[in-house]
A and B are shown apart, each in its own frame.
Chain A
Amino acid sequence: MSWIVSELNIQGVKGVLDRAGDFRLARKRSPRSIAIYAPNACGKSGYADAVEYLFSEDGGVDHLGKGGPDSEHGGKHAIPHVLAQERGIEPKASMTVVDLDSGESIQVTRPVETGRADDMPGALRPVVRVAPAHRILRQHDLRRFVVDMTPGQKYTELSRWLGLTLLEIVLKHLKTTSNALENADPDREIDERVNDITKHTERTVTEYDKRAVLLWCTAETKRHLSESPTIDSPEGIDEAIQALKHRREQVILSSAAAESYLAKLTLEQTANGLVSPDGQIQACNVAFPTALAAEEETKRVRASAKDSVFQEVWDRAKGVLQSRVTDTCPICLTPWQNTDVGSQKAALFHLGESLGELTKLGAAQDKQQKAIHKLELAIRDLETCLTEIPTEAERLALTQVEVEARELVEATKALSTKNHSPSEIQGEYEMLSSRCREFITQTLLPAVESLKIAEMPATATEIDATIEHLQALRDTLVRLTELYHERDEYRKVERSFNAIAEVIRERTATLVNSVVAALRDDVQSIYHMIHKTDAVPNIQIVPDSRSRTLRVRVEFHSPDRSVPPAGYLSESQVNTLGLALFMSSVRLFNREFPFLFLDDIVSSYDADHRARIVDVIAERLDGFQVFLTTHDLRFYSMLRSRLSDKDWLFERISGWELEHGPKRDVDALRPHQLDGLIRDGDASIAGNAVRQYMEEWLDVKCAKYNVYTPHKRGEKEFDRTLFDFWGPFVNRLKRVKGSFFADHIEPQDCYQRIRANPLLNYYSHAQANPYEWPSIGDVKYVWEEFQEFQKLFQCVSCSRVLKYDRAVDRFYCICGDQVFNTTAISN
Chain B
Amino acid sequence: MLDIPLILFFEGLTNGAIYALMALGLVVLYSVTGVINVAIGEFVMISALTVASLRDGSVPGTIYLLIAGLVLWAVYGAIADLRARRAAKALWSLAWPLLAGAVAYLLVLAISRTAMPYLAHIAVAILLTTALGPVAHRVIVQPLPRASALVYLILTIGLHLALTGLGLAFWGPQPYTLPPFSQGRLRLGPVLMDHQDIWLLAVSLLLLVLLWWFFSRTLHGKALRAAAVNKLGARLSGISVVRAGRTAFTLQVFLASVAGVLITPITKMAYDFGFLIGLKGFVGAIIGGLSNPLVAVIGAVFVGLAEQFSAFYISSAYKDVLVFLLIIPVLLVRSLQHVDFEEHVE
Instruction: Answer whether A and B are interacting partners.
Output: no
